[in-house]
Structure 1
């Protein structure tokens, strides 16, 4: 991974959800930037392969340190113990997926809200002021306004969205009550290499790529005109690093859209993936997707305004959607060929 922002100082970082998709990329970046990392995950959804990968990267960067612990973020005493001596927290652990939250609302709340407060309490106990945490574009709910701006949200449509909205309220409260420096990042459909393509709740991009590589026919929810602001994972890493080091007090207690300000329909996305794989191997045919009913809890369109993140975090996307799709397709294609 390219060193997006060169850190001038070595910090002690506490990273949650390290076996997950986004957090493993953040750890990868920090290791390559010679930082000290304490990382935790309980493998509820994370992958051991991500931790194995990070340990391998760390062996070639001896000036960094990467220490991983299998631990549950809801265990507050353990979080206090492990984060002692850390200076910055990046909190990515969560039970994701809108459909899963509709099926498992209590589990979603336990992990996403109670777990979040547990991390805030660990930070407070160890006097760690800066906590950057993952929020979600799902907090915009049924608001039809495009592009999405941070101060205009609607009624949330799923338990998952509710947990992220609650986290933002708690972050604001902790910032005010305890003079902490909490910054939330509202991710818009993050994707990229190492994202899990398997399981009932797999994200659409790795899932479709995996299906096409297996010779299966992907399914699109709705008529395919549904659109999203797809954001390559390196952009999310950049946002986390910038939020972790900003000195702008106006950013504290705030949440920011992290996206590319690009709108891509599912039909266009599928076409890009299918043709991308075909260009790598002509034996992967150009095929029509199947269509089914629109999925409960989803919104029809999403597009971010990132002006606030540009102003207060100096964030600007490094990789646009089509570039990220190309890189992601190539990654999974090469991984498949290794098997």
Structure 2
């Protein structure tokens, strides 16, 4: 089995590379990444691996996608421009990467004879639907350009499955965190920001009152879901979208308390305004993934926070030593 991972130098992609290289049935892992949000540091440990190949390129180029698909059997499509605020500030680029780029990947797969594509979907697709927990077939109106792009990916997947016989599986990620997630820049996710704040002994600023809640999901769970989706032989499991989460709700205040406890810190956060385009509460129903993919989250949020904190602490040590 030869697998192409788009966005494989990114946070989730690089963790997936590590896992797939360990599997005996995987003959080759090719990464396509333009390094816009990914990093060579994330994949440097694999560069000499005999089964690993890196191709620098952009999914916005159809020719690049065709080249990346050559000789591959399956695709894990992780490449995207994440972040709700980024999409609000620059909707054109988010659309170009997430919609045009994904369409290029799907079309290149079709032209190359690749049937199975697992693609990163998003919990942002639930939009303003008030129901909790979130169930796959009940979505609302998108609240950001990013959410629109991720929903469009799902619509294209459905159409390509019906028209061209592709096997597409969408994984709606809920707030994935863990080692290799970038803590820098204006669009960094909340857990790296909180950990960096504690390591720097600087109070983080929370959006709103800190009672916003999320279904935080350790990256090993996302990797497991991708593995199950790439290799499932259950025909009923394909051409579906699945929530990938832990099915647990954690507020930002509780999250920060846990990080402080791990760090032995007594920092108090600052509170700022609510963030535009954000959903107040998010919680996944993971029944469908359990039944369709036999997905069971292997690591809880609180078990995942410890190795995540240790990884950032080591990076922080190197940055400041």
Please list every run of 5 or more consecutive structure 1 residues that lacks an aligned counterpart in the other structure.
1-10, 279-284
> Cα deviations across residues 5-52 of structure 1 (Å, max 9, x unaligned)?
xxxxxx100110011000000001111224311111001111121121
| Distance in 1 between residues matched to 2:68 and 2:130, nearest whole Å | 42
C-alpha displacement of 1:217: 1.1
Q: Name the SS for the 1:302 alignment partner.
A: coil
Give RMSD over aligned pairs. Answer: 1.1
C-alpha displacement of 1:302: 0.4
Question: Across the two proteins, how many residue pairs are aligned to each other?
Answer: 317
Range 234-243 or range 328-337, more displaced: 328-337
Partner in structure 2 of residue 3 of structure 1: none
1:28 aligns with 2:21: no
C-alpha displacement of 1:54: 2.7
1:312 aligns with 2:289: no
| Distance in 2 between residues matched to 1:30 and 1:86, nearest whole Å | 14
Give yes or no for contact 2:198–2:267 (8 Å, CA) kept in 1.
no
| Distance in 1 between residues matched to 2:46 and 2:94, nearest whole Å | 27
1:136 aligns with 2:122: yes
| Distance in 2 between residues matched to 1:149 and 1:311, nearest whole Å | 14
* Correspondent of 1:329 among 288, 309, 320: 309
| Distance in 2 between residues matched to 1:265 and 1:54, nearest whole Å | 36
Give yes or no for contact 1:17–1:94 (8 Å, CA) kept in 2.
yes
C-alpha displacement of 1:200: 0.3
Partner in structure 1 of residue 104 of structure 2: 118
C-alpha displacement of 1:95: 0.5
Give yes or no for contact 2:87–2:144 (8 Å, CA) kept in 1.
yes
Deviant stretches of 4+, over 4 Å: none
1:294 aligns with 2:274: yes
Give yes or no for contact 1:175–1:252 (8 Å, CA) kept in 2.
no
* Correspondent of 2:81 among 71, 95, 106: 95
Please list every run of 5 or more consecutive structure 2 residues that lacks an aligned counterpart in the other structure.
none
| Distance in 2 between residues matched to 1:138 and 1:88, nearest whole Å | 26
| Distance in 2 between residues matched to 1:87 and 1:329, nearest whole Å | 36
Written as runs of structure 1 = structure 2, the 5 A alignment for 1:1-339 is 11-34=1-24, 35=26, 36-55=28-47, 58=49, 62=50, 65-278=51-264, 285-338=265-318, 339=321
C-alpha displacement of 1:289: 0.2
> Cα deviations across residues 232-287 of structure 1 (Å, max 9, x unaligned)?
00000000010011122222221100000000000000001111111xxxxxx311
Give yes or no for contact 1:277–1:333 (8 Å, CA) kept in 2.
no
| Distance in 1 between residues matched to 2:45 and 2:271, nearest whole Å | 36
C-alpha displacement of 1:334: 2.7
C-alpha displacement of 1:292: 0.6
